[in-house]
Structure formats: structure tokens, C-alpha cells
Amino acid sequence: MPEESIYYKKTDVLMMDPCFSRDDDNDIDSELYCSDLVVDTYADGCYYAIKGRQSEMMEKIDEIADNPEKFSLGEIAVETARIGIYDYRKAVEEQPELKERIESKEIIAAIIKNFTGVITSITDDDDNVYVVGFSDDGKQDFFSVAFYEC
């Protein structure tokens, strides 16, 4: 069941734990203001943005778990049980040092390039929470899944 959603058109979408944008480790009020969506995952760990439609790819979840990098558009390290969704350009404008921190892997974040479509959060019957991207052309569909080790 979808909970919240945001539509992007030809946008580089940043997915990261919002805590990595804090000025002070304990100051939640210093996180980026430009977040479009923040999804409570209810668990920390290493999340992957897996290429493909969630309903189809979940049938291959054991194969994906063996080698998530093969199926992944990027990793997201989660330390506060949340994944923030941002327009990458706006996030870097607000906090220019993010670009270098992401490129140097100080922050483990996924960037979905040139995305057009809807990104939403979905909670399944077992209370697992997913960030899901439904691209307009179906070629950039993705969903997040936790494997707990980066």
C-alpha cells in the first residue's frame, strides 16, 4: 500500500540517511531542508536500490541477496532507520560539501540519474518498508531492500 509519494521529471534523485547532512551528530534540526520525502524503514543497515519492478524482482530475492551489487543502482547506509529522498541538485546547492562526501564514499548514498516518475514508500503485510520508484517509461523502476551489511 503506497503511503507518500513525490513525482520527479528528469531529475537526479539522491537517496541517503538524512542524518549524514547534520551539522552536529545530535541535532536533527540541522538536516537538509530540501528533503522531498523521508521514509521510516524501522531498521538500520545497508539498503540497495535494486533495478526493476519490485513485484517481479522479489521472486529473485535469494539470487539478489547473494550478489546485490549485480542488481543495484546504488547502496544506502542507514543509521537512523530513515531514507531521505532529495533532488540531488537542490541538496548540493543547500550543502555543497555533500557532493565530495558522497563521491569519496564518506556517505554511502544512491543517486538515480535522470529519473522521471513517482517515488513512494510501500509497507508490505509483514511491515517491511520499501522505497519504490515507478518510472514513466518502466526502464528505471527500482525498490530498496535491506541486506544489513555494506
pLDDT of residue 1: 41
The cell for 147 is 541486506
The stretch 48-67 carries a mean pLDDT of 92
pLDDT beyond 90 at 92: yes
The stretch 68-79 carries a mean pLDDT of 94
The cell for 41 is 524503514
- The Cα–Cα gap between 45 and 80 comes to 9
- The Cα–Cα gap between 28 and 21 comes to 9
The stretch 68-95 carries a mean pLDDT of 95
Mean pLDDT of the chain: 90
Sheet holding 37-40, edge to edge: 37-40, 82-87, 2-16, 110-123, 129-135, 142-146, 45-51, 72-78
Global pTM reads: 0.90
pLDDT beyond 50 at 64: yes
1-45 pLDDT tens trace = 445 899 999 999 999 999 988 766 555 566 788 899 999 998 899
pLDDT of residue 2: 47
Asked if 15 contacts 109 with a C-beta cutoff of 8 angstroms, the reply is yes
pLDDT of residue 106: 94
The domain ranges of the chain are 2-146
The stretch 117-129 carries a mean pLDDT of 92
